[in-house]
Structure 1
Amino acid sequence: MEWTADVTAGDWLRDRLDDSEDWGRGMHGVVPRGFAAYARVFHPATRDRPVGAEWPPQPYSDHRAWDAFQRAHPDLDVIDERVDWATVAAALGKTMHPLAQWGSLVGIDRWADRENDPRDAEGWRYHDPEEGGMPADVLSTLAGILAAHTTTPDDGYIALWEGVGGLVGHLGTSPSRTFFQIGDASPELDHHNAMLGRSMPDPFNNVFRTATWQDGILSREISEGPRLELPGRGHVLFRGGVSELGDPDWVLSVPWRDRVAEAHGFPPSAQTPSIVWPADRTWVSVTEVDYDSTIVGGGRELIAALVADPRLEAWEIPADADLTFEADEVNR
């Protein structure tokens, strides 16, 4: 898998997307038209609950209740697990369906201040699925199915949205992200965090500071290279086969592996590709940054295979499906 400056390889996507004026009104602002069928692969949510205790009463902003809870249970065990949307719907008395929206499913207003994650009668507390990404093993499973439904599993394209913090470098007076270290107090730790603090923008005291190149995960050549420009989004483009993403350890081999974070003690990770398609264009997989699910367009056999696979939570959806936050008519 390698970076390509030939972003014309993605021109066919632009030709099948709705105009920018319609962007956000339906899924075809980001998902190409023209496929026989479409599937929605739901990103898993998570839930947790304490063992041998109950969460303090809501709201979480009642710090006294939480302080007392932590003092009473200093070594509390908490079960933390991945959960599919159907399980969440059943626990909260809602209905799972292809066009379900998380906010309607769990009874939250996306635009309101979030002090409380929803809980069910058994004490499980539910946390939002990831937007714009999915766990590495879920992507590996999806990629394996996609690879079986193309004549070019080893040749295709992977596009990454350029806006993920730290992916590309830039000219500026501060890095695109910083890593504050947490631990026991020490002169070394204090010095490190003070240095990071000084690296943050300070327009009042550093008015004439000269902009310099700030490294990202990707090299300067790639960072300053051409983008695949689609309505509302710019993408860095790589040439490679979906079969490479089917490897359970794909994170370790992709060019955008986040080695910067690893150097600060984080486990290996890599951004979920935003768009993947094979050279024969038999399907396309779109993980839009504002979606908590991935949309796949392709042949009917592929869509049936995705829906039938028990390792994924996937439902067939119609073309022109409305996936906006208020679109869940069933659980409204």
Structure 2
Amino acid sequence: MTNIQPATDAKSAEWLLQPGADWWHLVRYGPPGFDVYVRIAFPEDDEEEDTVRAALVTLASHTSTPDRGNVAVWEGWNGHPNPPSAPRLEIPNRKMLLFAGPLEMLRDAPAQAWGETSGIHVPPHLVWPADQGWCLACEVDEEIEFTVGCSDRVAHALASAFPGRVRRVRYGEEAPLYRDEVDAPLNDAGSRSTEEVIYLPLPRGIHGGAPRATEEA
């Protein structure tokens, strides 16, 4: 698989399985404990932009271990009966296969793991660097957004990279999976109205970010 290889073992992923953590929150938000959780909206046609790939490029510049990344891929993503050989992460209802490689290349881990070029737009499901500085989570059925748990600094970098499409969320809060679950037209951030979105403010001196909605107490 070129630079993406099966992980040596499952130890690199053990930190994800924190005692008492809900499996559904894990696959949608990553592990609890980060300073900030943000949701990044997919555009209507993500094949042209590939938001997860672009996010990993930004995130790779905010870790001390950009060449040592880890990725978890759901073993049943493409319906093949025989998944590739790799260590497994035993998440309830979402058994994952573990691979490793440079962070910027891990976007292609699902397709490369099964030796396919089709399905390249299926994103990896959990990605994190060896230093555990952040975690990207994209649940199998996500159509609207994906999540990054990180520091304030990394969240600001993402808000700058994706103006108008990044919102701060509470860990584990409910969010629709499918576009047809949303009754009103989606705005650019994947929400029903700008009043419901809390946009991250950009650092001073950075322009082109989203307007900040009023944060509820």
| Structure-2-length-normalised TM-score | 0.68
Which residue identity is paired with 1:282? G
Q: For residue 291 of structure 1, what is the aligned residue in structure 2? A: 142
Taking a change above 3 Å as real, the CA distance of residues 242 and 136 of structure 1, as seen in their structure-2 partners, is: farther
Show CA shifts across 1:156-178 (max 9, x none): 21111112124x543xxxxxxxx
Given candidates 8, 13, 18, the residue that maps to 1:15 is: 18
Show CA shifts across 1:114-163 (max 9, x none): xxxxxxxxxxxxxxxx8xxx767322211111001110011021111112
- Between structure 1 and structure 2, the one with the greater Rg is 1
Alpha-carbon contact 2:28-2:147 (below 8 Å) kept:
no
CA distance, structure 2, for counterparts of residue 146 and residue 226 of structure 1: 25
Show CA shifts across 1:218-261 (max 9, x none): 4xxx1xx5421113210111011213247xxx58x9444414x5
Task: Give the number of the structure with larger relative contact order, counting CA–CA contacts within 8 Å between residues 6 or more apart.
Answer: 1
The answer to whether residue 73 in structure 2 is matched with residue 160 in structure 1 is: yes
Show CA shifts across 1:171-204 (max 9, x none): xxxxxxxxxxxxxxxxxxxxxxxxxxxxxxxxxx
Which residue identity is paired with 2:65? T
Q: For residue 38 of structure 2, what is the aligned residue in structure 1? A: 39
| Structure-1-length-normalised TM-score | 0.46
Taking a change above 3 Å as real, the CA distance of residues 320 and 274 of structure 1, as seen in their structure-2 partners, is: closer
CA distance, structure 2, for counterparts of residue 236 and residue 322 of structure 1: 26
CA distance, structure 2, for counterparts of residue 155 and residue 10 of structure 1: 13
Q: For residue 89 of structure 2, what is the aligned residue in structure 1? A: 228
The answer to whether residue 126 in structure 2 is matched with residue 275 in structure 1 is: yes
Gaps of 5+ in 2: 184-190, 197-217
Alpha-carbon contact 2:40-2:147 (below 8 Å) kept:
yes
Gaps of 5+ in 1: 46-81, 83-129, 171-215, 262-267
Alpha-carbon contact 1:154-1:241 (below 8 Å) kept:
yes
Taking a change above 3 Å as real, the CA distance of residues 315 and 274 of structure 1, as seen in their structure-2 partners, is: same
CA distance, structure 2, for counterparts of residue 235 and residue 135 of structure 1: 27
Query: SS of 1:15's equivalent?
Result: coil
Q: For residue 98 of structure 2, what is the aligned residue in structure 1? A: 237
CA distance, structure 2, for counterparts of residue 272 and residue 5 of structure 1: 22
Alpha-carbon contact 1:227-1:234 (below 8 Å) kept:
yes
Taking a change above 3 Å as real, the CA distance of residues 238 and 142 of structure 1, as seen in their structure-2 partners, is: same
Percent identical among aligned pairs is 29
Residue 305 of structure 1, CA deviation = 1.2
Alpha-carbon contact 1:16-1:33 (below 8 Å) kept:
no
Taking a change above 3 Å as real, the CA distance of residues 162 and 294 of structure 1, as seen in their structure-2 partners, is: same
Taking a change above 3 Å as real, the CA distance of residues 226 and 279 of structure 1, as seen in their structure-2 partners, is: closer
CA distance, structure 1, for counterparts of residue 87 and residue 113 of structure 2: 17
Taking a change above 3 Å as real, the CA distance of residues 312 and 10 of structure 1, as seen in their structure-2 partners, is: farther
Alpha-carbon contact 1:154-1:244 (below 8 Å) kept:
no
